[in-house]
Chains A and B, each alone.
Chain A
C-alpha cells in the first residue's frame, strides 16, 4: 500500500470568524503585516474592514493590491520587495485564488530570495516562509488549504505549479459572510473549481481514505447547494459551498489533481481566462476519458450527481457526466472550447505544455499530447 500524507493548516470556519484575524496574526508574531488583496475586495469594502480589524489591534499594515487574476511573476517580485523593504513580518491574503497565490509567491521570495521561477516544481523551497494567514473570499480555489501555488511566467506564457508543504498557510480563516458580496459568475466559477478539485483528487492514485471522504463531502455539498446559491444567493447554500471548497482543498492538496487542471493551467498561461470557467467546458470530457481507468470511482461520482441508483458503475458514471453538462448549461457557463479561444491553432501547444504540468502526474489514466488533443477536439 502507498504511504500517503495528510497535512492541512489550522482552519477557522464560521460566520464572523474574521474577527479572530488580529489575534491569529499576533500569535504568529505579527507587528507589521503585509495585506495582499485586489480591487474587487476593495470595492466590496472587505479590505477596509480587514485593515480596521488590524488597526483596532494596533497592528501596522502595508497594503499590496497589484494582483491580477492569474497572478504574474513580476507582481510577486514587486510584493516581495515591498515586504522586505518595509520590514514586514506576517502575510495576510484576502480574496480568491489570485491574491492567495500571489501571497504564497511573495512569501516564497521573501523567505528564500531569487526568482519565483526558481521554485517551479515540487519541494524546491528550502527555507521557511513568513507566517501566512489566508481569508478566502471565493468558495473554490482551495489555495488557503493547499500546498499548491500557481504563478504565470509572463515571458514563457506558462502557469508554473509550485508545490511545497511550506506553501500551506499557517491559518485559514473562512468567514461565509464574505461570499455574500460576490457576483453570480464568480460564485459559479469558484464552486465549479471546487467541484473539479474534488473530482480530480478523488480519482487520483494518491487518494487516501482521508482525502476521499473530503472529496465526497465536497461533491455532495456542491450538488446540493450549487443551484440555490447561484440562483437565489441562498445564504445557507453559500456557506455550505464554503465548506465544500475547504473540503475539496484538503483533498486535492494531499492527493493532487489531474488532466483537467493540467489543461486549465496550460490554457490559462496563454489566454487570460477565468480559471473556473475552463472546467465546465473540459470536465465532462476529461471524466469520460478517465472512465476506463476507474469506473468504480466515476460511478461513485455519478451516483452523487444523479442520486442513488442501482445500475452498473459505468452507466451511473455516464449518467452523472450527462447531468453535469446539463447543470453547467443551466448556469450559463461557457460549454465549448471555441467560446474561450480565438481559433484552433494554439490547441497543440496547449496540449503539449499540459503534458508537462505536475497535475498530469496524478491523473488516473496516462494521457499523451494526442489524447489531450482528442479531448479538446471533442469539446471544441
Chain B
C-alpha cells in the first residue's frame, strides 16, 4: 500500500525545493515551445523535401477549383505567371466554366480518389495528363479542398500507340507471309500448267485453225505473265511482312519506291481518276536503311495522298520523285493535287493521335510513326501545302546514317 518512500528531515527542509513560480513555468513553456517548433520545422522541411521529390504536377484547389498552391514542377512545366488565385479551368483552358471531365468534383462529392486522363496544349504541344484528384477535408477550413496530381503520360501513350501499331504490323506480316506461301503453290501450278499447255500447243498447232492456236498462245502467255506478276507481289509481301528485320542494309531507293507502288497497285487502279506520275532519278545512289520501315513511310505518305484526293475531287495526280541532294543525301517527294492541309493543322501533323480522318478511319499514328522512322534514319520529313492545291511531303535521307546504338 505505502509505495511512497518515507520523507526525511532533509525533505522537510527542502533546501533545493522552492515554490515553482510562473517565471519558471514560462521558461519551461518557452523551452517546450522551442523544442516543438524545431521539431515541426524539421518535419515541415522533411515533408517539403518529399514534396519537391515528386515529379508530378501537384496543385491544391478549393472546391470552386480556385488554385490555392502548386509545387515547383508546376512552374517548371507551365512556366510564367502566378497561377495562385486563378480558376483552374481559366488557367488551363481559358474557359469560363469547369471542364466536364474534371475528376475534382467526383472526388469531393464521393470522398474518394478519382482518376481521369485529359489532353492539354502546352507550349504548342499536345500533352496527355493522367489526373488524380484526392479530397482534402478539414473542418477548420471554410471550404473543402482537393489535391490534384497531373502526370505527363504523353510518352507512355505514344509508346502504347506505337506498340499497338507494331503489334498490328507484326500480325499482318505473319498473315501476309502465310497467305503468300499459300498463294505461291497454286501460282506455281497455274504457271506450270500454262507452260505445259504452251508446250503441247506445238503438237496440236497443225490440227487447229491458226486463229484458235494464236488465242491459246496469247492466253497462256498472259496467264504466265500475270502469274509472274503475282509471284513478284507475293515476294514483296514476304519481304515487307518480315517481322524483325530492323537491320540497316543497303537500300535501292528507286526499287523500294517501285515495290511500294506495286503493293498499292490494286488500290490505285480502283481510283480511276488518279494518275500516278513516277519520276525516279536514274543512277540514284543507294542508301543504308531499314527497307521495310522506309516502305511503311512511303506507304503512309501515298495512302494519305490518295485520301487527300478522295476528300477533294477524287481525281488528280500523285507524283513520286526521287533525287540526290548534295553528295550525301537523297530526296523522296510525294506530291498530290488534293485538298491541302489547313495551316492550323500543319504544326500538329506529326504529333501522335492527331488526325483529321473521321472516327474509325485512322488513329492518328501514321505520320508520327513516319516522323519517328525518318528521325531514326537521321533524316527529315517536312510538308508544303496549300489549301485546295495540294500537299508535298519531302523526306530527306542521308546515304550513311551514323548509328550510335546497337
Contact = CB atoms under 8 A, between A and B. Distances in A.
A193 to B, nearest CB: 19
A124 interface: yes
A163 B25 contact: no
A164 B17 contact: yes
Closest 3 CB pairs of A and B: A122-B11, A122-B7, A128-B20
Contact of B13 (A5, A164, A168): A5
Contact of A163 (B1, B12, B19): B12
A15 interface: no
A366 interface: no
Interface stretch (A179-187, A219-227, A356-364): A356-364
Contacts of A81: none
Given A163-B7, A205-B9, A123 B14 contact: yes
Contact of B5 (A121, A129, A254, A362): A121
Given A121-B6, A129-B20, A163-B7, 7 more contacts: A5-B14, A121-B4, A122-B14, A128-B20, A165-B17, A256-B9, A362-B9
A231 interface: no
B12 A165 contact: no
A346 interface: no
B13 A206 contact: yes
A124 B4 contact: yes
A62 to B, nearest CB: 21
**Contact size range, A:** 20 to 34
A114 to B, nearest CB: 13
Contacts of A256: 9, 12
B96 interface: no
A197 to B, nearest CB: 14
A127 interface: yes
Contact of B1 (A126, A156, A164): A156
Given A5-B14, A206-B13, A356-B2, A127 B8 contact: no
Interface in A119-163: 120-129, 131, 147, 156, 163
Interface residues of B, number: 21
B22 interface: yes
A122 B12 contact: yes
A317 B375 CA distance: 121
A310 interface: no
Interface string B99-117: 0000000000000000000
B15 interface: yes
18 contacts: A4-B13, A120-B4, A121-B5, A121-B6, A121-B7, A122-B14, A123-B17, A127-B20, A129-B20, A166-B20, A205-B9, A206-B9, A206-B13, A254-B13, A356-B6, A361-B7, A361-B8, A361-B9
B13 A163 contact: no
Contacts of A29: 22
A358 B12 contact: yes
A3 interface: yes
A116 to B, nearest CB: 12
A7 interface: yes
Interface of B: 1-2, 4-9, 11-15, 17-22, 24-25
A361 B18 CA distance: 21
A302 B25 CA distance: 47
B27 to A, nearest CB: 10
Contacts of A2: 13
B13 A123 contact: no
A206 B12 contact: yes
Nearest to B26: A128
A7 B12 CA distance: 12
Interface in A1-27: 2-5, 7
Nearest to B8: A361
Nearest to A129: B20
Contacts of B8: 122, 361
Given A122-B14, A206-B9, A206-B13, A7 B2 contact: no
Contact of A128 (B11, B13, B17, B25): B25
Given A129-B20, A166-B20, A356-B2, A3 B15 contact: yes
Given A128-B25, A356-B6, A123 B11 contact: yes
A165 B20 CA distance: 8
Contact of B19 (A168, A356, A361): A168
A131 B22 contact: yes
B282 to A, nearest CB: 102
Given A356-B2, A356-B6, A3 B13 contact: yes
Residue of A5, A120, A147 most packed against chain B (CB within 10 A): A5
Contacts of A128: 20-22, 24-25
Nearest to A208: B13
A362 B1 CA distance: 24
A83 B12 CA distance: 29
Nearest to A147: B14
Contacts of B15: 3, 5
Contacts of A131: 22
B20 A358 contact: no
Nearest to A124: B4
Given A3-B15, A5-B13, A358 B7 contact: yes
A289 B34 CA distance: 58
Contacts of A5: 13-15
B306 to A, nearest CB: 86
Residue of A29, A165, A256 most packed against chain B (CB within 10 A): A165
A25 to B, nearest CB: 14
A123 to B, nearest CB: 5
Contacts of B6: 121, 356, 358, 361
Contacts of B17: 123, 164-166
A362 B20 contact: no
A121 B2 CA distance: 10
Nearest to B1: A156
Given A122-B14, A128-B24, A165 B9 contact: no
Contacts of B19: 7, 165-166, 168
A147 B13 CA distance: 10
A362 B9 CA distance: 7
Contacts of B13: 2-5, 206, 254
B5 to A, nearest CB: 7
A145 to B, nearest CB: 13
A166 B17 CA distance: 8
A260 B37 CA distance: 53
Contacts of B11: 121-123, 163
A361 B17 CA distance: 19
